[in-house]
Amino acid sequence: MPLDLSAPAVSQSIRCDECGSDVAASLLVCPGCRRLVHASELKRLKEDADAAAAVHDYAAELAAWRSAAALLPPGSRQAAAVAEKIEALTRPGGPASRAPEEMPKTGIWKWLGGLGPIGVLIWKLKFLIIAFATKGKLLLLGLTKASTLLSMLLAFGVYWTAWGMWFAAGLVISIYIHEMGHVAALRRYGIPASAPMFIPGLGAIVRLRAQRLAPHEDARIGLAGPLWGLGAAAAAFAGARLGGGPMYAAIAHTGAWLNLFNLLPVWQLDGNRGFAALAATERWIIVLMFVCGWMVTQDGLFVLLIAAAAFRAFDVHAPAAGDRGALGLFAFLIAALSIIARAAS
């Protein structure tokens, strides 16, 4: 679960490069010469963004432009120009949020089309498997942070006393993978974030500096956690089917259940971030998907999910346009997690 935090404290004052005046760090324009206080840093950030764009490193390009946006006066011409660059990179279908290509009609994957929704599920899971394979270094990176490792060990000890060593290990790993999904999405959008911090009994959080995010960005960052969590639950379920025994099935069921709970559209849960990007009609589609999930699993959790989603569907502040990409990902997560929860129970 990403947790927004305010920007860290900065020094009392800085020196203007143009006139040499001492300027309060909170000011972005020098009161004496009216020059941008961070002009030199802004020039360097533009060069970094241009260099990243030349090699199609969109995450680095976004990181540079977001850093520049924080140093520009709101409403200024420069701020508007930088905002346009960020929007072009992150809008649905843009380089930083481009969805995987459609299922091919020919080749070795063409037979999946005849399997209907199951074929679509397998096709989407293919991309999730590739993501795990290519993000292996990122998964290990979080374990190099002392705060993550120590809090993970504390959570493991608490869960061990309650449910045993192996189930505790599987649960902690599943939560960790879920949170690293958020970290991966944040990095793709050029937003710095901490490694996960575990809170025994409550899961874990990823801390990030407060950002002004478009609804479609926030939705994909929020839903990335359950998407990676789905991968962890699917791996545990595969282990159960390959002879791992009921312990793997229990880990798969619990992982799927926890990720479904995170789709609850309230507070700072992942479902709330995804729901905020959906138009009213799209929200009712998610309500129906939750109803289908309840029919598949017969789990009481879906009563809470249906009630919360239906309440939010009546919200008059829902965006008019909506986000089909977020809708498709949200619906896919409900379907896939429900199938795993039912099959592993």
Of the three residues 40, 58, 90, the one that is the final residue of a domain is 90
Label residue 258 exposed, middle or buried (CB < 10 Å: 0-12, 13-18, 19+). buried
Q: Which range of residues forms the domain containing residue 278?
A: 110-344
- Is pLDDT at 142 greater than 50 in this prediction? yes
77-99 pLDDT tens trace? 888 999 888 888 887 666 665 54
Tell me, yes or no, whether 292 and 144 share the same domain: yes
Question: What is the model's pLDDT at position 127?
Answer: 55
Q: Are 294 and 303 in contact (CB under 8 A)?
A: yes
Tell me, yes or no, whether 274 and 220 share the same domain: yes
CA nearest to 7, candidates 193, 209, 152, 169:
209
Q: How many domains does the chain have?
A: 2
Of the three residues 90, 118, 133, the one that is the final residue of a domain is 90
Provide CB contacts within 8 A for 118, sequence distance 6+: none
Tell me, yes or no, whether 85 and 124 share the same domain: no
- Domain assignment of residue 119, yes or no: yes
Tell me, yes or no, whether 84 and 114 share the same domain: no
- Domain assignment of residue 99, yes or no: no
Tell me, yes or no, whether 179 and 316 share the same domain: yes
- Is pLDDT at 100 greater than 50 in this prediction? no
Tell me, yes or no, whether 81 and 124 share the same domain: no
* DSSP 8-state symbol, 276: T
Tell me, yes or no, whether 86 and 142 share the same domain: no
Of the three residues 90, 118, 151, the one that is the final residue of a domain is 90
Tell me, yes or no, whether 140 and 257 share the same domain: yes
Tell me, yes or no, whether 183 and 136 share the same domain: yes
216-262 pLDDT tens trace? 889 999 999 999 999 999 999 999 999 888 999 999 999 999 999 99
Q: Are 270 and 179 in contact (CB under 8 A)?
A: no
Tell me, yes or no, whether 265 and 132 share the same domain: yes
Q: Are 49 and 61 in contact (CB under 8 A)?
A: yes
Tell me, yes or no, whether 133 and 73 share the same domain: no
- Domain assignment of residue 100, yes or no: no
- Write down the pTM of the prediction: 0.78
- Domain assignment of residue 34, yes or no: yes
Look over the chain and give the mean of its residue pLDDT values, rounded to a whole number. 83
269-296 pLDDT tens trace? 999 999 999 999 999 999 999 999 999 9
